[in-house]
Amino acid sequence: MSVATSETFTAESPILPAGPFEPAEREAVYRAIHSRRDVRSQFTPRPIDEATLRRLLMAAHHAPSVGLSQPWNFIVIRSDEVKARAHAAFARASAEACAMFPEAQRPLYSALKLEGILQAPVNLCVTCDHSRGGPVVLGRTHQPEMDLFSTVCAVQNLWLAARAEGIGVGWVSIFHREDLRDILGLPDHVSPVAWLCLGHVDELYAEPELQVRGWTRRLPLDDLIYHEGWGQNAG
């Protein structure tokens, strides 16, 4: 069974079959979800070819967005100078973050590698243009933050596609937003949502790295499911 793409459909045949995937295809989707990792230290120096990067960006661009507003832009960064500025901004923010945790946790925090900015061949900043779609956007009339949520969907699409391509992705969030605005020259109506490090990887942790290192653990799913209202367990 072939997998349909956006190029498969025309104005004469706009319908997409909605049945389940074949078992092997379905398992591949779940494999990408369950084996996706936040990569910080396993990047190899092999460059990402342009065709692969284009496929990843196309996957991101096919994310759901409220009102089909597509508020994202993708800033591809390969420059050592820009990476160095971003790394310096991260280092400043990370030192501040370390001091926010209880003293007993600070040694472990300092031992964690929380970014791969300089090691990753490609850095990518995914932004949200709050003006995209005009002053009134379908679906944002009562929840204006939906443009940010839409942009995060684009990040997740890219992350899962990258896993399928053997590309590691690490999301670096320890920044002052204004530092990123300054480094990338972002206008006021555009917010940086995700700074991502991308590169080939040969191996991944079997479990999330923060779990392996003892920082936290995955919560049991059953503890997170309620029925018909907050805090209501199945009867």
Q: What is the reported pLDDT for 8? A: 53
Query: CA–CA distance from 21 to each of 25, 130, 153, 154 (Å)?
Result: 6, 36, 21, 22
Q: What share of the chain is helix, strand, coil (3-state, %, to 5)?
A: 40, 15, 45
* pLDDT range class, residue 11, cuts 50, 70, 90: low
CATH number of the domain that residue 93 is part of: 3.40.109.10
Identify any residues that bridge with 195 across adjacent strands, giving them in sequence order. Answer: 125, 172
When divided into structural domains, the chain yields a total of 1
Predicted confidence (pLDDT) at residue 16 exceeds the cutoff of 70: yes
In a domain, 6, yes or no: no
Identify whether 32 is part of a domain: no
Percent residues over pLDDT 90 in the chain: 91
Q: How far apart are CA 104 and CA 92, in angstroms?
A: 21
With the CA atoms of 206, 153, 162 and 59 taken in that order, what torsion angle do they form, in degrees rounded to the nearest 10? 150
* Residue found under tokens 């945790």: 101
Q: What's the domain range around 184?
A: 39-201
pLDDT at 1: 43
Beta bridge partners of 73: 127
Name which residue leads in pLDDT, 171 or 41: 171
Q: What percent of the chain has pLDDT above 70?
A: 94
Does residue 177 belong to any structural domain of this protein?
yes
The answer to whether residue 107 scores a pLDDT higher than 80 is yes
214 within a domain of the structure (yes/no): no
50 falls within a domain: yes
* pLDDT tens-place string over residues 171-202: 999 999 999 999 999 999 999 999 999 999 99
Dump pLDDT digits (tens) for 200-234. Answer: 999 999 999 999 999 999 999 999 999 999 999 87
**Whole-angstrom Cα Rg for the chain:** 20
Q: Distance (Å, rounded) from C-alpha 83 to C-alpha 121?
A: 10
Has residue 7 got a pLDDT over 90? no
pLDDT at site 14: 79
Specify if 136 maps to a domain.
yes
Cβ atoms within 10 Å of 105's Cβ, excluding its own: 12
- Please tell me the distance from the alpha carbon of residue 86 to that of residue 233, in angstroms, as a whole number: 45
Specify if 184 maps to a domain: yes
Mean pLDDT value across residues 28-43: 96
The answer as to whether 231 is a domain residue is: no
Question: With 70 as the cut, is the pLDDT of residue 6 above it?
Answer: no
